[in-house]
Amino acid sequence: SYDFQLKPHPKIPKSDGPLLVCVLDGYGENKIKDDYNAVHVADTPCTDALRAVPGRFCTLQAHGKAVGLPSNDDMGNSEVGHNALGAGQLIDQGASLVDGALRTGSLFSGEGWAYIAPAFAGNTLHFIGLLSDGGVHSRTDQLYGCLRGAAERGAKKIRVHFLTDGRDVPDGSSLKFVEELEGVLKELAATGCDAKIASGGGRMCVTMDRYEADWNIVKKGWDAHVLGQAPHYFKDALSALKELRKEGSEKPVSDQWLDPFVIVGEDDKPVATIEDDDAVVIFNFRADRVIELSKALEYSEFTAFDRVRFPKTRFVGMMQYDGDLKLPTNYLVPPPAISGTSGEFLAKNGLRTFVCSETQKFGHVTFFWNGNRSGYFDEELETYVEIPSDTVPFNELPDMKAREICEAGKEALRSGRYDQVRINFANPDMVGHTGDLEATVRCCTLVDKCVKELLEVVDEMNGRFLVTSDHGNADDMAQREKKTLKPIVQEGKVVSLTSHTLAPVPLAIGGKGLPADVKLRDDLPSAGLGNVAATIFNLMGFEVSWAEPKTGNHCVLR
């Protein structure tokens, strides 16, 4: 429990104007500064100038253990990044918690497992989730652990419905993961368990929508996984991938964007549909892209799309995905307990907040920021504005909604109605994920312009600002040789990198309302995203005693 009463900072006075907190999603500070670093290539006079201010710029760790991930080989991502930014604490994240639950076996002895077990003898056990070792939403080794654990504990019929990745891992790696999965399923079959792949599709157009950007994506998944209906039917999953990727054709399709498909048996019937009394496990630990499917599987009242049939299943999530909605009711591993987030402190101290992003990142600066809660702390004090995202691959419209977000941010700063104005620019991340270098350079330039405009308004209002990012992405657009770090070239072309990077992120502070002698501490070389919340309160003129000591308290002092 916390003492929520914030105390005035002994040295930093309260500001007259608002504090702008601006997250440039996927905008890393990469030490490789070549033609494939879009942040470096882009024309960014504003962020360049911020970097040059003595004592007011530093970089922060945004990956691995610094954000609660199992290992320092784990790249950062928006969930753990925004959790750390908003909570000001280091939290053992979903990936680590599932690892632990598999290691100790507690995953198989908890209430969630007990809930699905009655289906093992006479019904089918389904697994649905993202098939890769990206470690952002899920991991294959965790899926395999669950599959083996289920077979050992008597599951007689298992069906796997998977989404291909190519976004947190290289495009084309879907083939390798499916071969590996087939191997595990064969192993189970040898012990008498009927285990097969049943359906699938690319993560960006099947099942894994987020923040209700496009329910049709979830409907396509529902049709394939639950009803056994899709535009394509195949006898096996590898043939499905090879066919749907259209390699060597004029218009190859990447793993992220594969059409939905259903696997059929010799009789041409789907090898599985989801039926009453079956058990269903969503094996993603990360919430944002499985909340919609969870609602479809759990809620009897449901209007987002026509489910045609609503099977009464024993459904569990790998975790509970939404702490406010308590969704899903049943889950295999208790989620990270995140309490005492900065949002709660703001609200309990009567501070007014304006938050804005576009759909694709809206939940990042609200839901993830607030510790995986979908509600408000105090509706009177908080205004959350979502600008609807386009529903196209974002390299086609790389400006996304940056201008609109910028305008909303400026208006909120000028209104005088808010103590904190928090916004997120989605572009460097969302366009970076497409692997399109040119489009990513373009959007970094635009985002830099938007930051400049916002900082001008901060000055106009005699306010203060903090500009940062949640993880790297746009700062490296090329897959590289491990030793030389030279871009990998195949068939005369540099192979693009669609995933996040391990780069640290920028932290810049300033604004006309910030006394000249307020500087960032220089004695915290391993400071990470968990240090930002304390810094934000310092910038608002408050002392921080609640952030966990292990995050290294306060970045700011005189």
Q: For the chain, what's the residue count?
A: 558
Q: Select the residue interacting with ligand 3PG from 126, 167, 196, 464 (CB under 6 A).
A: 167
Nearest to ligand 3PG of 119, 426 (CB atom): 426
Q: How far is the CB of 532 from ligand 3PG (least distance, A)?
A: 17
Least distance to ligand 3PG, CB of residue 500, Å? 7
Find, among 369, 376, 372, the residue nearest to 347 by Cα.
376
Residue with tokens 């009463």: 5
93 binds ligand 3PG (CB under 6 A): no
* Residue, CB closest to ligand 3PG: 78
Instruction: List 201's β-bridge partners, or say none.
Output: 163
Q: How many residues bind ligand 3PG (CB under 6 A)?
A: 10
Give 69 or 457: the residue with its C-beta nearer to ligand 3PG: 69
The strand ranges marked E within 440-550 are: 464-468, 489-490, 493-494, 505-510, 519-520, 542-543
Binding residue (CB under 5 A) for Co ion from 29, 255, 344, 429: 429
Residue for token pair 């830099």: 448
Site track 258-297 with ligand 3PG (rule: CB under 6 A), x = hit: -------------------------------x--------
Tell me whether residue 471 is annotated as binding.
Answer: yes
Torsion sign, CA atoms 296, 258, 236, 281: negative
Binding-site string for ligand 3PG from residue 433 to residue 452, where x marks contact by CB under 6 A and - marks none: x-------------------
Counting beta carbons within 10 angstroms of the beta carbon of residue 345, is it exposed (0 to 12), middle (13 to 18) or buried (19 or more)? buried
Has 364 been labeled as part of a binding site? no
Q: Which does 136 bind (CB under 5 to 8 A by kind): ligand 3PG, Co ion, none?
A: ligand 3PG
526 is in an annotated binding site: no
Sheet of 353-358, strand order: 57-60, 505-510, 464-468, 19-24, 420-425, 353-358, 382-387
Name which of 56 and 167 has its Cβ closer to ligand 3PG: 167
Q: Is 366 in the site for ligand 3PG (CB under 6 A)?
A: no
Q: Name which position in 29, 168, 278, 436 contacts ligand 3PG (CB under 6 A).
A: 168
Active-site residue (options: 78, 174, 254, 342): 78
Asked if 524 contacts 531 with a C-beta cutoff of 8 angstroms, the reply is: yes
CA atoms within 13 A of residue 262's CA, in its CB half-sphere: 22
Please say if 78 is a catalytic residue. yes
**Amino acid identity at 455:** L
Q: Smallest Cα–Cα separation from 5: which of 537, 520, 533, 555?
A: 537
Unique residue bearing structure tokens 């003492």: 3
Residue ranges in contact with Co ion by CB under 5 A: 429
Annotated catalytic sites, by residue?
78
Residues forming the annotated binding site for Mn(2+)? 25, 78, 429, 433, 470-471, 500
Residue ranges in contact with ligand 3PG by CB under 6 A: 77-79, 136-137, 167-168, 289, 429, 433
